[in-house]
Amino acid sequence: MYAQMIKSEATQDDPEKLAAFQARIDAGEKIEPKDWMPEGYRKTLIRQIGQHAHSEIVGQLPEGNWITRAPTLERKAILLAKVQDEAGHGLYLYCAAETLGVSRDEITEMLLDGRMKYSSIFNYPTLNWADIGAVGWLVDGAAIMNQVPLQRTSFGPYSRAMIRICKEESFHQRQGYDAIRKMAEGTPEQKKMAQDALNRLWYPSLMMFGPSDKDSVHSAQSMAWKIKMNTNDELRQKFVDQTVPQAEYLGLTIPDPDLKWNEERGHYDYTDPDWSEFFEVIKGNGPCNVDRLAARNKAWDDGAWVRDGLLAHAKKKATRQHAAE
C-alpha cells in the first residue's frame, strides 16, 4: 500500500502543486481520497485518524469492564449501548484511514506492536462505578470538545465520520453526567466516590488534548492543512471553562487549589497537568498500558480463525465463480 504512495513522490516537491493544494485548503474545500495531496498530509492523517480509531477501540476496555457490574438494568443497557457505539466509531475511522491507502490490518498491527499510539486516558483504570460516570462526563466531554471542530477538518472522509460520531458522543457525555449526578446527590459515601473519581480523572482528562502548545510538534503544520482546527491549549481551556460550572452544579470540587476565574482573560486560570507523567504514559509506562495492549493482542489472536474462515470462504466463492464463467 505504501508503495502506491511512494510512486507519487516525484511530484511532491512541485511548488505549483503544493500552492494549488494549499489554496484549496484555504478556500475551505474538502480534499477527497483520489485528489492529489502532499505525502506529509497523507501521513499526518493516517497517524491522527489511526490513533483516533485505536482510541475508540481501546476505550471500550475500561468501560466494558463495568457492564456486568452496572448497578441497575437500565444503567447496564445504557453502558452496553455506549460501548457498542465506540466500536462503531472505531470502524468508521478505520474506513476513513483506508481511503488514504493503508489497510485496517496494517494499522492494527502498528497498534499491537506499539508503533502507533492511542489516547493516554485509556491507560488509567476504572476502579468503581463512579469512575464510569466520570469517564462519560469528563472523557467523553473532552472528546467532544476536540471532535466538534474536527467535523470541519479538510479531509472529506474524516470530516463526515466526525459528524456522525459527534451525534453519539453528546449522548455519551450526558449519560455520564447523569450517572455522576446520581452519585453526587446520593449518600455521603456515594458523593465521596464521585469526588474521588473526579480527583483521579481530572488531570488525565486535561492531558487528552495533548502537550502544551510549546511542546506540540505537529500542531502548526496540521493547522495550516486544517487537519486540526485548534491548538491543544485552546481546546483544553475551553474544556476547563465548560466543566468548572458543571462540577459546581454537582457540588464537587475540581482538584486544583489555584483554579480561579480570570475576569481580564474571560477564562479560568488553572494548573497544568504534570507533563512528565503524560510523556511517561505515552511512552508506554502508564498504569494500564501493558494490560491494554495485552487485551488487544489477545483479541486479535483469538479472532484469527474468523479472519481465516472469511478469507477461505471468499477464495472458494471466487474459484467457483471463475469455474462457472
Q: Where on the phi/psi map is residue 266: left (φ > 0), alpha (ψ -120 to 50), or beta?
A: left
Is residue 166 classed exposed, middle or buried when 0-12, 13-18 and 19+ CB atoms within 10 A define those classes? middle
What's the closest the beta carbon of residue 182 comes to ligand BYC, in angstroms? 20
What's the closest the beta carbon of residue 237 comes to ligand BYC, in angstroms? 14
What's the closest the beta carbon of residue 286 comes to ligand BYC, in angstroms? 10
The C-alpha angle with vertex 105 and arms to 282 and 96, in degrees rounded to 5, equals: 80
- Dihedral angle over CA of 28, 29, 33, 36, nearest 10: -100
Beta-bridge mates of residue 268:
261
In one-letter notation, the amino acid at residue 58 is V
Q: From 284, 205, 227, select the one nearest 42 (Cα to Cα).
A: 227
Using the structure block, give the residue that is written with the C-alpha cell 457498542. 84
Residues found near ligand BYC in the complex (CB under 6 A): 47-48, 51-52, 55-56, 59, 86, 117, 119-120, 139-140, 143, 146, 207-211, 216-219, 222, 228, 232, 282
Count of other CB atoms within 10 angstroms of residue 294 = 11
CB 9 within 8 Å of CB 40:
no
Using the structure block, give the residue that is written with the C-alpha cell 493503508. 102
- Measured in whole angstroms, the distance separating CA 246 from the mean position of its chain's CA atoms is 22
Q: How far apart are CA 313 and CA 121, in angstroms?
A: 39
Using the structure block, give the residue that is written with the C-alpha cell 452496572. 70
The C-alpha angle with vertex 66 and arms to 117 and 201, in degrees rounded to 5, equals: 55
DSSP 8: G
Q: Which is nearer to ligand BYC, 44 or 195 (CB)?
A: 44
Q: Which is nearer to ligand BYC, 11 or 285 (CB)?
A: 285
What's the closest the beta carbon of residue 49 comes to ligand BYC, in angstroms? 8
CB 281 within 8 Å of CB 210:
no
Residue facing ligand BYC at closest CB distance: 59
What's the closest the beta carbon of residue 219 comes to ligand BYC, in angstroms? 5
Q: Which is nearer to ligand BYC, 63 or 98 (CB)?
A: 63
Helices 156-184 and 140-150 sit at what angle, rounded to 10 degrees?
A: 150
What's the closest the beta carbon of residue 31 comes to ligand BYC, in angstroms? 17
What's the closest the beta carbon of residue 22 comes to ligand BYC, in angstroms? 18
What's the closest the beta carbon of residue 188 comes to ligand BYC, in angstroms? 29
What's the closest the beta carbon of residue 218 comes to ligand BYC, in angstroms? 3
Q: What is the chain's length?
A: 325
